[in-house]
């Protein structure tokens, strides 16, 4: 519960194969709002109900995938402290100056043992959610343009040494384990779901030989009916659906996995229980792993463990 001052996922920086195709997808199909473009040709988006300037940043590259994933912390003092804590823990950190990303303050970047670049930052411009902060309506027309998730929610990353990742997130950043899948040896985790809040996950990892891979970035929807609407819009727009609508056993969330035009998997999901650090983590065993991931099918599809970017 943000015991160490880490608030929430703040931005995901994704690589896409064709920028304008991706701009159309993220803007018109997924229904994020474009908030700016910078001199590096990066395009910035936010979900309609997010107040900060950006949560998804895309750039064109030869290979799809994720450049970095960032968390907002609760102030500059926390940022300094966590940077010091990371270095004391033995993690090299890099400072990215304020303004390197549009409307975003200084960032502390570091690599975790799974090979992913993680960032912390304390400041991003509040550009509003399109609804007045005085006497607000509950939603606006923007919530019905495209799939229109309310916000970036979490990501699932694939890479090695996830027990070291977990230790770092727990001991330095204050996250806690919510659910895990344990391999047949009954001690090695195949997958871990970590929270810095009362959300069932703020970030998750799956053990994988190749470092730095992206399984999916997830966006939150308000209801199971919005999940249906999302699936309908995917079909109308010929988005490639991986699986769904269905339910996860892990987190209980209802979900669709699909692919952006570059092959990056994304999730639009609803629900998941609320959890607390005093809750005993939920454990999945390999004989029920299919049920844990896809509760209705009770088995994994081939793509789940193999297709990453």
Which residues lie near a second copy (CB under 8 A)?
1-3, 5, 7-8, 49, 51, 72, 74, 126, 133-139, 144, 150, 197-199, 222-225, 228, 231-232, 234-236, 238, 241, 244-247, 249, 252, 254, 256, 271, 273-274, 276-285, 288, 291-292, 295-298
Catalytic, out of 53, 154, 180, 215 = 154
When the beta carbons of 211 and 290 are compared against a second copy, the nearer one is 290
Rounded-to-integer distance, Cα 194 and Cα 180, Å: 9
Q: 53, 116, 201, 208: which one is catalytic?
A: 201
Indicate the length of the chain as a whole number.
309
Least distance in angstroms from the C-beta of 2 to a second copy: 3
Is 154 assigned a catalytic role? yes
Closest CA to 192 of 184, 119, 203: 203
Closest approach, Cβ 64 to a second copy, in A, equals 22
Asked about 216 being catalytic, the answer comes back as yes
Which one of 11, 53, 215, 216 is the catalytic residue? 216
**Beta-carbon count within 10 A of 263 CB:** 16
Least Cβ distance, residue 198 to a second copy (angstroms) = 5
Q: Is there a catalytic annotation at residue 279?
A: no
Tracing tokens 């899948």 back to the chain, one arrives at 181
Under a CB-based contact definition with an 8 Å cutoff, are residues 171 and 162 in contact?
Answer: no
Characterize the bridge pairing of strands 254-259 and 33-37: unpaired
296 among known catalytic residues: no
CB of 222 to a second copy, least distance (A): 7
List, in order, residues 6 or more apart from 194 with CB less than 8 Å away.
166, 169, 170, 175, 176, 177, 178, 201, 202, 203, 204, 205
The catalytic site residues sit at 154, 201, 216, 248, 257, 267
């Amino acid at each position: 519960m943000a015991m160490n001052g880490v608030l929430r996922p703040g931005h995901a920086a994704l690589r896409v194969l064709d920028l304008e195709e991706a701009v159309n997808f993220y803007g018109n199909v997924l229904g994020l709002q474009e908030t700016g473009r910078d001199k590096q040709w990066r395009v910035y988006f936010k979900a309609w109900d997010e107040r900060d300037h950006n949560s998804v940043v895309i750039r064109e590259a030869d290979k799809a995938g994720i450049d970095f994933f960032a968390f907002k912390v609760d102030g500059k003092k926390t940022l300094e402290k966590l940077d010091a804590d990371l270095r004391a823990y033995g993690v090299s950190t890099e400072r990215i100056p304020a303004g390197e990303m549009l409307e975003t303050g200084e960032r502390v970047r570091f690599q975790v043992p799974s090979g992913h670049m993680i960032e912390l930052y304390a400041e991003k411009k509040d550009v509003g959610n399109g609804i007045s902060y005085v006497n607000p309506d509950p939603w606006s027309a923007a919530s019905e343009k495209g799939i229109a998730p309310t916000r970036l929610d979490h990501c699932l990353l694939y890479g090695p040494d996830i027990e070291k990742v977990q230790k770092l997130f727990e001991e330095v950043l204050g996250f806690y384990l919510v659910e895990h899948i344990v391999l047949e040896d009954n001690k090695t985790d195949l997958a871990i779901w970590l929270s810095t809040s009362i959300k069932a996950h703020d970030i998750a990892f799956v053990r994988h030989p190749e470092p730095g891979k992206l399984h999916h970035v997830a966006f939150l929807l308000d209801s199971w009916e919005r999940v249906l609407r999302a699936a309908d819009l995917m079909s109308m727009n010929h988005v490639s659906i991986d699986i769904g609508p269905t339910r996860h056993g892990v987190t209980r969330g209802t979900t669709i996995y699909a692919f952006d035009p570059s092959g990056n998997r994304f999730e639009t999901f609803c629900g998941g229980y609320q959890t607390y650090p005093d809750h005993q983590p939920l454990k999945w065993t390999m004989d029920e792993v299919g049920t844990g991931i896809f509760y209705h099918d009770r088995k994994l599809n081939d793509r789940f463990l193999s297709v990453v970017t």
